Amino acid sequence: MSARIRQELGVDELRERFAEYTRAAYESLPSTRNQRILEIGCGRGAVTFRLARLSESAQEFAPDSEIVGIDIDGDALAELARRIEVEGLCRRVQILQRSLLVTGFADERFGLVWAEGVVHIPGLEASLPECNRILEPGGYFVLVEAIAWMEPRLRNLPRFGFELVERIPWEPDCWWTRYGKPLEARIRRALARSKAPGRSRGADACAITGAVA
């Protein structure tokens, strides 16, 4: 989906409807772990900005604190880089085009690794060894995935050196009710407008995928 269509449909605003869950997970962690944060699969930065705001409002951001976002999608990172500049966050937020499978960071570099909607792509087995390597001892890993995907895999966490400390369930079907359904309605309205008499038909198209948590 192009940036223009995303803006027209208000996709970023829809994504923000899940901010409460980022906050709940962030606030459940000991604050000392929140000073060197890596977000893997940051995409266009919906969660990156939330983490930046949360750490700022918690006044936890010591001078040597950092938020690093990595992703393999160069276009998404370019868009995120522009927003980081506009919002004046260049000194606190760094983004890099890297895979979570081979991050290139030193062992135990981060106190907190955050992953929303990305680990299911390469899979748990492929992702967790690297996440464990770059986390300091006693560090935290926040993993956000659909319950149906995550549930049968929870028992595998200790194999990769992780201990489950807390689960924060999202409201059932919230990806549909807060995101998929309103997005579908907005797409229908946009299509109706584009077909209205007197409107030229553009060549833009978009696809939506949704997951039910």
Ligand X SMILES: C[S@@+](CC[C@H](N)C(=O)[O-])C[C@H]1O[C@@H](n2cnc3c(N)ncnc32)[C@H](O)[C@@H]1O
Which stretches of the chain bind ligand X, using CB under 6 A?
A: 15, 40-43, 46-47, 70-73, 76, 99-101, 116-118, 121-122
Counting beta carbons within 10 angstroms of the beta carbon of residue 11, is it exposed (0 to 12), middle (13 to 18) or buried (19 or more)?
buried
In the three-class reduction of DSSP (H, G, I as helix; E, B as strand; rest coil), residue 156 is classed as helix
Which of 72/206 has CB closer to ligand X?
72
| Closest distance of CB 178 from ligand X, Å | 14
Cβ–Cβ < 8 Å for 2, 204? yes
Shortest CA distance to 130 belongs to which of 111, 97, 105, 152? Answer: 105
Q: At its nearest, how many Å lie between ligand X and the CB of residue 47?
A: 5
* Nearest residue (CB) to ligand X, 93 versus 118: 118
Q: Give the nearer residue to ligand X in terms of CB position, either 35 or 119.
A: 119
Write out the DSSP string of 72-86.
S-HHHHHHHHHHHHH
CB of 181 to ligand X, least distance (A): 18
In the complex, least distance from residue 161 CB atom to ligand X, rounded to whole angstroms? 20
Residue 199 carries which DSSP code? P
Identify which of residues 59 and 209 has a Cβ nearer to ligand X in the complex. Answer: 209
